[in-house]
Chain A
């Protein structure tokens, strides 16, 4: 009983604190998205005099021939495809890297770090893509996103694979499992919460990326969601109300995805089966 009261108390405190620290900025986004252009230009933290959220949403969606809709489709395809490949490839690397001591390991570790540290070189990368005839295509951009996301994911997998007991590998080996079965049937299910974490994080990165689509997949028909922000924000005039409506619209889908997936992370706690 005492424990329950405490939990309610901490819960309440945490909710109040988070409302202040995290939801105040969100309120500002919502308020600005609800204003008319003129009112929003003042960029004040104030309740809209005239509530125009609905009109703003309609206008944002219709802008430049429904570019936002196209962008949502493109971004979804891009995110799903690149995160899938990224998770698969980097889990394989992380698995062998953690389990197998070889003289390659220091070099591979260094490569992983280099991938995090060195910013990608845009123009040479375009040349490579042109050479592969992948420039300006969605598959090209997907491979780019996979490549740039590998280091982060490998680091995550490597760290968490360390927690899986080797006895399980050995037991499976004795049962006659080959490397592929061992990886997919034994290791993969145990990595559930890391996999979900990597999926969430990388999906957010890819979905929110604007630099790579801007350079590697030009053209309005190929726009991704972050590029739609440029419709309302230019060097000389910015329509703040529409910009923030757009920010709101492109933030909600990943938020929903996150709420869905974060249950899976918790689920990993019970079904993770690292028992005994």
Chain B
């Protein structure tokens, strides 16, 4: 494959590999000084790390905001006794993997489409990004109406072609998937934007050279866009997976975890403890969620970055 070789060559000339593991130990000042970290580190430490450590401590207490009583690991025991915990974990994984998977696929396709020379590009880009701008409350209510089982637009349209639509949000077996679909609708604009930024960063020469060699648009996509859009891809995967595993704002706006408890995810279970004023218990839940999400994300992150470095 002429294209592949050319790309490799081009890349190699651009990236002279990694720096040696041990940087030149000369007294010469680095061009990448460590003090660049300081402003961010100061803020991050004071306003995030300190409160987070405090809240990890509170997970070991019975905490009403007014009184603190140390109770060891009772909160964790209580949290693991939550009746809906298992279903919550299952729902969390379903929601997280479905939404991030679909956001990556649709986001990439839309980005390719919207960075090509198609008609109405500006309009389409704005339209796709629009849902990102609307408040969650608005999105939630809007789709609740569209998904109404009786006179909602979706089921009315389905009835028009002879299909009897289900209760999208009221039937326990559909509720979570329906919310996941809306989450994709809402978040795909963001993924598209990041992919567009990645595609735009690919030098035009590659496409020109490939087209001269007679590559089809699909070959262009497969051999140039897909490999070179990798940094954007990693970002989208990480962000949407973390988002999908720990966010619940849309679930809250659309079903509040219902009907009953059927669309609860771990984050909404935790939020309910917080809402109820069980602050120690909800901190314990957050620690658990943190451990679980980290256990999933860190290997993926490490794997994706290692492959990047290998190339």
Binding site for B on A (CB under 8 A): 7-8, 10-12, 14-15, 18-19, 21-26, 28-29, 43-45, 88-90, 92-93, 95-96, 99-102, 104, 108-111, 113-121, 123-125, 127-129, 132, 143-144, 146-148, 150, 152, 154-156, 159-160, 162-163, 165-167, 169, 173, 178-179, 182-183, 193-194, 196-197, 200-201, 204, 208, 210, 226, 229, 233, 240, 243-244, 247, 250-251, 254-255, 258-259, 262-263, 265-266, 268-269, 272, 274-275
Asked if A120 contacts B231 (CB within 8 A), the reply is no
30 of the cross-chain contacts (CB-CB < 8 Å) are A11-B118, A21-B185, A22-B130, A28-B145, A28-B146, A44-B151, A89-B39, A89-B43, A96-B32, A111-B44, A113-B294, A116-B242, A117-B290, A121-B58, A123-B65, A124-B52, A128-B47, A147-B47, A155-B235, A156-B194, A159-B234, A165-B15, A179-B29, A193-B201, A200-B193, A201-B190, A226-B135, A251-B133, A254-B133, A262-B122
Contact partner of A247 among B52, B137, B293, B294, CB < 8 A? Answer: B137
Question: Given A29-B134, A229-B135, does the pair A274, B40 have CB atoms closer than 8 Å?
Answer: no
Interchain CB contact (< 8 A) of B201 among A109, A247, A262, A274: A274
Closest Cβ of chain B to A35, distance in Å, is: 12
Chain-A contact segment, one of B17-25, B74-82, B90-98: B17-25
A92 touches B200 (CB 8 A): no
Chain B 228-244 interface mask (CB, 8 Å, partner A; 1/0): 00011011001100100
Which residue of chain B lies nearest to A230 when distances are taken between CB atoms in the complex? Answer: B137
Given contacts A193-B197, A251-B134, contact A113 B297 (CB under 8 A): yes
**Is B138 interfacial (CB 8 A cutoff)?**
yes
**CB–CB A45/B128 < 8 A:** no
Is the pair B125, A262 in contact by a Cβ cutoff of 8 Å? yes
| Interchain pairs with CB closer than 8 A, number | 269
Q: What are the 8 tightest A-B residue pairs by CB atom distance, in nearest-first order?
A: A11-B119, A121-B55, A124-B51, A159-B231, A124-B54, A92-B36, A100-B32, A247-B138
CB of A217, distance to nearest CB on chain B (Å): 14
- A159 with B137: CB separation less than 8 A: no
C-alpha spacing A173/B144, complex, angstroms: 58
Q: How far is the CA of A95 from the CA of B31 in the complex (A)?
A: 11
B117 at interface, CB cutoff 8 A = yes
B27: CB under 8 A from chain A?
A: no
Chain B residues in 8 Å Cβ range of A26: 130
Complex Cα–Cα for A87 and B260 (A): 42
Contacts of B204 in A (CB 8 A): 269
Contact B32 A99 (CB under 8 A): yes
A243 to chain B: which residues have CB within 8 Å? 137, 141
Residues 286-311 of chain B, each 1 if its beta carbon lies under 8 Å from chain A, else 0: 10001001100110010000001000
B126 contacts A by Cβ under 8 Å: yes
Residues in A whose Cβ lies below 8 Å from that of B16: 166-167
Please tell me if the beta carbons of B286 and A119 are within 8 angstroms of each other in the complex: yes
Which residues of A have CB within 8 Å of B52? 114, 118, 120-121, 124
Complex Cα–Cα for A145 and B194 (A): 21
Contacts of A121 in B (CB 8 A): 51-52, 54-55, 58, 283, 286
Give the distance in Å from the alpha carbon of A8 to the alpha carbon of B137 in the complex. Answer: 36
Q: List residues of chain B with CB within 8 A of the CB of A233.
A: 137
**Residues of chain B lying within 8 A (CB to CB) of residue A43:** 141, 144-145
Distance of A265 Cα from B200 Cα, bound (Å): 8
Q: How far is the CA of A166 from the CA of B18 in the complex (A)?
A: 10
Q: Mark B177-221, 1 if CB is under 8 A from A, else 0.
A: 000000001000010011011101101110000000000000000
Do A262 and B123 touch across chains, with their CB atoms under 8 A apart?
A: no
Contacts known (A117-B293, A159-B232, A204-B133); A11 close to B32, Cβ less than 8 A = no
Asked if A208 and B51 make an inter-chain contact with CB atoms under 8 angstroms apart, the answer reads no
Known: A92-B36, A124-B51, A272-B200. Is A18-B127 also a contact (CB below 8 A)?
A: yes
Nearest-neighbor residue (CB-CB) of A263 within chain B: B122
**A217 and B31 alpha carbons, distance in the complex (Å):** 40
Most central of A102, A114, A118 by chain B CB within 10 Å: A118
Indicate whether B129 reaches chain A with its CB closer than 8 angstroms. Answer: yes
Closest Cβ neighbor of B41 among chain A residues: A93
The answer to whether A162 and B231 have CB atoms under 8 Å apart is yes
Contact of B123 among A15, A125, A163 (CB under 8 A): A15
